[in-house]
Amino acid sequence: MRTILLDQPLGWRDIAAIAEGADILLADPARQRIATARAIVETIVARGIRAYGVNTGVGALSDVAVDRDHQRQLSRNLLMSHACGVGERLGAREVRAIIAAQVNNYAHGHSGVRPAVVDGLIALLQHDCIPDVPARGSVGYLTHMAHIALVLIGEGRAHLGGEALSGAEALARIGIEPLVLEAKEGLSLVNGTPCATGLASLALARSERLLDWADATAAMSFENLHGQPNAFDAVPLALRVSAGLAETGRNLRERLAGSEILAATAGARTQDALSLRAVPHVHGAARDSLAHVGRAIDQELASVTDNPAIAGTPEAPLVYSEAHAVSPALGLAMDSLGIAVAEVAAMAERRLDRLVNPLVSGLPAFLAGNSGVGSGFMIAQYTAVALVNENRRLAAPASLDGGITSALQEDHLSHATPAATKALAILDNAEAIVAIELMAAAQAYEFQEPALKRAPGTDGLYRAVRAILPPYADDRPLADDMAKARALIRQARPAAAPPLAAS
């Protein structure tokens, strides 16, 4: 398994890799930065320098002084009171991504937690000990990270090797003593944007993989519908400036090169419907949007997102009360990602509709071998429409949501975490939609002229589908096939098409 060394700030691809199981190793310079920041906090505590969440309450209680004897209790109480999540648990990948982003944030050296706290989080990752984190109930951060931190102090619940355990039992199993939190540590463990940043990194990785599959399935549908591939030629596509469009265009040319099916109908139409002809434009725009999102996430990972931020030296401590834990940039980026993925999936459903509609496909109605007795993919297209519509509702921007919290102290919310969880929900639907198109496109090949060969790039995709799914004849529940096709999309990128000599 890959090990990622944390010295300089991690990138979103690193966070996604840790979410998938990679290990993380704290480099000595990062460990020293953490220790120095902790020494600064200890000076602040010893001198009684006023610092938010260290020797004061939080939120609207920020002007309430907390004496030294109660600062440990404040840290513990913050976890207890902030662990307010509801709903089903986040998946293991999502929790791992959040923890990885937390460790990255502390490694900047401006948080003030002890190295032992960071080591505890890394131990959870190393042992794949996954705190139970309810998915809902956050307007920005706080709740998800509080549920993670509970396990570090022997509270809350976790899953280890698939077994549900109390936090204390989970720590005992992996040989870790529960932590007794010191001043500021409770606040740092619930504060900042690691939750949104971790979830965003995972969403972006899934989106990239989905776009590769969307290009691939679009090529299969295009071939089955006898499209006119000159629309994807490099010269006319280059008239529109877009790196994403150029990439999708190249992907389509490679997938469709050598297709006897397309060669047999070349020139049959002046131009195709937009769900076929505009694939480079829609998928390309999504790719461009994802590139922007990646830069926003990397910028977040390179930033200190604690409030307060610790600076200076142990001899001359500085503490800054600011708003770095608010992340409008990340909220906007996640809203953008969700919209981009929703549009790609909506276009996939339109191609699916053309495959099953005999009025435009030239194929048997609903791709059924015995239309009438068999309904084929009729209702699978209904399912895709339902998911497209759900995505349309989900794609409403979270960054514009209102909400006033903490007695007017926190009176503007950027909703970065809800934007990220919403993007993940859109991805769930989009993967299912593209999976249905993939199945239908494979089914459509069963009705093409046998003498005409598929393009090598689409033939490999067809064979990958047929390795897990035989042709459909209304002989089994189609939902099971859909689940297998979706798993194929979620597990890996599609096999590459043979590259063109020049494009």
Tell me the average pLDDT across 246-252: 98
Per the CB < 8 A criterion, the answer to whether 364 and 352 are in contact is no
Domain-embedded: residue 499: no
Domain final residue, candidates 191, 214, 245:
191
Kindly state whether residues 115 and 208 are assigned to the same domain.
no
Domain final residue, candidates 169, 191, 213:
191
CATH number at residue 204: 1.20.200.10
Average pLDDT, the chain: 94
Domain-embedded: residue 411: yes
89, β-bridge pairs? 134
Kindly state whether residues 205 and 185 are assigned to the same domain.
no
Query: How does pLDDT run across 290-302, given as a tens digit for each residue?
Result: 999 999 999 999 9
pLDDT score of 277: 97
Tell me the average pLDDT across 277-299: 98
* 416 vs 430: CA distance, rounded Å: 21
CATH number at residue 187: 1.10.275.10
Kindly state whether residues 311 and 401 are assigned to the same domain.
yes
Residues spanned by the domain of 165 = 3-191
Kindly state whether residues 268 and 407 are assigned to the same domain.
yes
* 268 vs 228: CA distance, rounded Å: 8
Say whether pLDDT at 408 is over 60: no
Per the CB < 8 A criterion, the answer to whether 381 and 352 are in contact is yes
Q: Which two tokens stand for residue 401?
A: 């949501």
Q: Which of 107-121, 320-334, 371-385, 438-452 has the lowest mean pLDDT?
A: 320-334
Q: Which two tokens stand for residue 333?
A: 């980026």
Burial of residue 168 (number of CB atoms within 10 Å: 0-12, 13-18, 19+): middle
* 159 vs 156: CA distance, rounded Å: 11
The dihedrals phi and psi of 198, each to the nearest 5 degrees, come to -65, -45
pLDDT score of 64: 83
Domain-embedded: residue 497: no
- The verdict on whether 52 is a catalytic residue reads yes
Q: How far is CA 189 from the centre of its chain?
A: 22
Tell me the average pLDDT across 114-128: 98
Query: How does pLDDT run across 430-461, given as a tens digit for each residue?
Result: 999 999 999 999 999 999 999 999 999 999 99
* 309 vs 305: CA distance, rounded Å: 8
Please measure the distance between the N-terminal and C-terminal CA atoms of the chain and give it in whole angstroms.
Answer: 36
Tell me the average pLDDT across 144-166: 97
Kindly state whether residues 392 and 273 are assigned to the same domain.
yes
| Nearest residue to 290 (alpha-carbon basis) of 432, 298, 389, 101 | 298
The dihedrals phi and psi of 456, each to the nearest 5 degrees, come to -55, -35
Domain-embedded: residue 30: yes
The catalytically annotated residue of 52, 106, 141, 445 is: 52
Say whether pLDDT at 263 is over 80: yes
Domain-embedded: residue 498: no
Q: Which of 212-226, 289-303, 370-384 has the lowest mean pLDDT?
A: 370-384
Kindly state whether residues 208 and 345 are assigned to the same domain.
yes
Cα–Cα distances in angstroms (integers) from residue 398 to residues 4, 47, 218, 334, 423, in the given order: 32, 42, 30, 9, 10
Kindly state whether residues 103 and 134 are assigned to the same domain.
yes
Domain-embedded: residue 160: yes
Kindly state whether residues 185 and 206 are assigned to the same domain.
no
Q: Which residue has the tokens 């940039």?
A: 329
| Nearest residue to 199 (alpha-carbon basis) of 331, 393, 25 | 331
* 206 vs 213: CA distance, rounded Å: 11
Domain-embedded: residue 253: yes
Number of Cβ within 10 Å of residue 37's Cβ equals: 29
Domain final residue, candidates 139, 162, 191:
191
Say whether pLDDT at 503 is over 60: no
Kindly state whether residues 172 and 215 are assigned to the same domain.
no
Say whether pLDDT at 405 is over 70: no
Kindly state whether residues 187 and 204 are assigned to the same domain.
no
Say whether pLDDT at 409 is over 70: no
Instruction: Report the percentage of the chain scoring pLDDT > 90.
Output: 82
Reduced to 3 states (helix: H, G, I; strand: E, B; else coil), residue 262 is helix
Instruction: State how many domains the chain has.
Output: 2
Kindly state whether residues 252 and 377 are assigned to the same domain.
yes
Could you tell me how many helices (H) and strands (E) the chain has, helices first?
20, 9
500 falls in which pLDDT band (50, 70, 90)?
confident
Kindly state whether residues 124 and 233 are assigned to the same domain.
no
Say whether pLDDT at 181 is over 90: yes
pTM: 0.95
Domain-embedded: residue 473: yes
